[in-house]
Amino acid sequence: MASSWLGARRQSLHLLKTRGFLLLKLSAAVLAVLLFCEFLIYYLVIFRCSWPELKTPEGAPEPVLRAMFLADTHLLGAIRGHWLDKLRREWQMERAFQTALWLLQPEVVFILGDIFDEGKWSSPEAWADDVGRFWKVFRHPPHVQLRAVAGNHDIGFHYQMDTYRIKRFEKVFNPERLFSWKGINFVMINSVALEGDGCDICSRAEAELLEISHWLNCSREVGHPPTPHFPLYRKNDANCSGEDAAPPDEKYTPFKERYDVLSWEVSRKLLWWLRPRLILSGHTHSACEVQHRAGVLEVSVPSFSWRNRNNPSFIMGSITPMDYALAKCYLPCEDMVLTTYCVAAGCLMLIMLIPTRLVSAPFHFVSVHLRV
């Protein structure tokens, strides 16, 4: 009787020990998957990105500015979006941005509009909360400059835009329209105000750009990269290519002037006034490269948010007063992360079921038939 009791006790202790080891292994596996998908994957993917190289000019080398361009972060507010969606998207953008800062060490970061998703509707309290979350996600060391232009989700389209929303935005982000560093001039354009209908805000915006144009032309400095939110006029995205271009069913959809792109008249004015050598814009959430007159390149930067696309990215620019080179840095694809989670979940289920013999019978059946 005693030996039987001792045998049962040993068997029970062995079972508990086996289950304890199994639980420990499962916990370690879960933590490893979470660590990879929510932290390490950003380092592994962004580590492959590097700054584009410029041709070295004869004589004294020019100082190179390393600039990072991203667009359409669309931080969710109090009205739209589930709290879990908000938490997930902000975590993804925070990890991607902080990893890029650490690995790539940019000197300046430009955000090309639609920073917030609900800025045009936000109450003062909601706006303050959104701004606080923005600075948490996009925190940066003091030596890194961060510049932003307003988008239609930040201050509203032309019919929603007012002085209060513009001033509220400019209180958070530097309102200067001309940002200069290392001899390179960046013109920060409020493209929402370039409606061309003579409204007070529109007239002031055009007057500011004319003043900047006169100063730049008088200083005889070479082309200046403008950074509007809306792209300059183009009919559609039919000529755009690449894995992050617009989907085939959207490429041939005509763009609406003053809504999807700037009007043809305003676009012509900007090219004439500023005579740029490079234009970077956002708004469409998809990538595109367009050659305007005199060979001026415009790059539409895709959205930085996984809420808007499966494969977000940003642009890296090595820029001097006389030259520039651009490269694109892709972020982890969402479907790759989800596939990793699904495969890991399936493996964990097998590990849990094998000791219970729920999956051993089929394997045994196959083994017996193979012997026969």
Q: Annotate 69-125 with three-state secondary structure.
A: EEECCCECCCCCCCHHHHHHHHHHHHHHHHHHHHHHCCCEEEECCCCECCCCCCCHH
The token pair that represents 210 in the structure block: 């004319």
Q: What would the mean pLDDT of 78-100 be, rounded to a whole number?
A: 91
The position carrying tokens 């938490």 is: 87
- In this prediction the pTM is 0.88
DSSP 280: E
Q: What is the model's pLDDT at position 315?
A: 97
As a whole number, the mean pLDDT across the chain is 86
DSSP labels for 170-191? HHHS---SEEEETTEEEEE--G
Residue 173 or 219, more confident: 173
Kindly tell me if the per-residue pLDDT of 167 is higher than 90.
yes
Name the pLDDT band for 16 (thresholds 50, 70, 90). Answer: low
Kindly tell me if the per-residue pLDDT of 234 is higher than 60.
yes
Instruction: Please name every residue paired with 291 in a beta bridge, in sequence order, or none if there are none.
Output: 297
- State the Cα–Cα distance between residues 29 and 48, nearest whole angstrom: 26
- State the Cα–Cα distance between residues 78 and 193, nearest whole angstrom: 26
| Domains with residue ranges and CATH for the chain | 38-335 (3.60.21.10)
User: Which of 13-27, 193-207, 274-288 has maximum average pLDDT?
Assistant: 274-288
pLDDT digits (tens, 9 = 90+) for 91-122: 999 999 999 999 999 999 999 999 999 988 99
* Range scoring the smallest mean pLDDT among 42-56, 237-251, 350-364: 350-364
- State the Cα–Cα distance between residues 39 and 238, nearest whole angstrom: 37
Q: What is the model's pLDDT at position 350?
A: 77
Q: Helix, strand, coil proportions of the chain in percent (round to 5)?
A: 45, 15, 40
- State the Cα–Cα distance between residues 175 and 149, nearest whole angstrom: 9
Kindly tell me if the per-residue pLDDT of 372 is higher than 60.
no
- Among 239, 180, 229, smallest CA distance to 205 is for 229
Q: What is the model's pLDDT at position 55?
A: 81
Name the pLDDT band for 217 (thresholds 50, 70, 90). Answer: confident
pLDDT digits (tens, 9 = 90+) for 250-286: 999 999 999 999 999 999 999 998 889 999 999 999 9
pLDDT digits (tens, 9 = 90+) for 134-149: 999 999 999 999 999 9
- For the chain, list the strands marked E by DSSP: 65-70, 108-111, 145-148, 178-181, 184-188, 226-227, 278-281, 288-291, 297-300, 313-319, 324-330
Kindly tell me if the per-residue pLDDT of 361 is higher than 70.
no
